[in-house]
Chains A and B, each alone.
Chain A
Amino acid sequence: DAGVIQSPRHEVTEMGQEVTLRCKPISGHNSLFWYRQTMMRGLELLIYFNNNVPIDDSGMPEDRFSAKMPNASFSTLKIQPSEPRDSAVYFCASSFPGQGGQPQHFGDGTRLSIL
């Protein structure tokens, strides 16, 4: 039973470079969430999709951040250009459709370091 799959697990790059994080949600899940976690700011919701459509991107910090979900099994979060303050762990989570709330299942995260 494959969970949410994120790649890469670790990314180290220099300031100014483009960074692309990838996520494959659990099959059958129709909601997908991108989070950023840091010691200072905790777990922040950046953007979420439902049926591949972006619903709320108010958490995206700046125009340097963008996210896409071209199909039900793939999403990307892109940072261009990257800055040292973008260093964090980025989690993707997905959720099954259903009445009322449903649990979100998290991937193992991408640990991003911008030098």
Chain B
Amino acid sequence: GENVEQHPSTLSVQEGDSAVIKCTYSDSASNYFPWYKQELGKRPQLIIDIRSNVGEKKDQRIAVTLNKTAKHFSLHITETQPEDSAVYFCAASGDTGFQKLVFGTGTRLLVSP
């Protein structure tokens, strides 16, 4: 089955810096890669996603890139703000027939003012 690895587990940046979180997946058949943000005590919320027919997608300060050949995808956050502090999870579709997602272990991002 699908396996998703996520790095780093924690990331500390200064406000205004960029942050990059990387994930690798094992199943070459996976074709959907969402990213979730989870603030303390809250539910995971979808912030951006990408499909395998696209190499890059942007939404204001966040972007995701996908390298199908290498089987890795990354989340990029530019001009970080304290409110970006949260745990970020990547995921890959491990079973597209039933919309199952395999999640990474999460990255705790801390943005210091």
Contact = CB atoms under 8 A, between A and B. Distances in A.
Contacts of A105: 46
Interface in B81-113: 89, 93, 96-101, 103, 105-106
B100 A33 contact: yes
Nearest to B98: A50
Interface of B: 30-34, 42-46, 49, 51, 89, 93, 96-101, 103, 105-106
A34 interface: no
Interface residues of A, number: 24
B100 A45 contact: yes
Given A31-B98, A42-B105, A42-B106, A100 B46 contact: no
A91 B100 contact: no
B91 to A, nearest CB: 8
Given A31-B98, A95-B99, A101 B43 contact: no
Given A43-B106, A105-B46, A106-B45, A100 B93 contact: yes
Given A102-B32, A103-B49, A91 B43 contact: yes
Interface centre among B34, B42, B51, B99, by most chain A C-beta atoms within 10 angstroms, is B99
Contact of A97 (B42, B44, B93, B99): B99
A91 B30 CA distance: 24
B99 A106 contact: no
Interface of A: 31, 33, 42-43, 45, 48, 50, 55-56, 91, 95-98, 100-109
Nearest to A93: B44
Nearest to B43: A106
A43 B44 contact: yes
Nearest to A105: B46
B99 A101 contact: yes
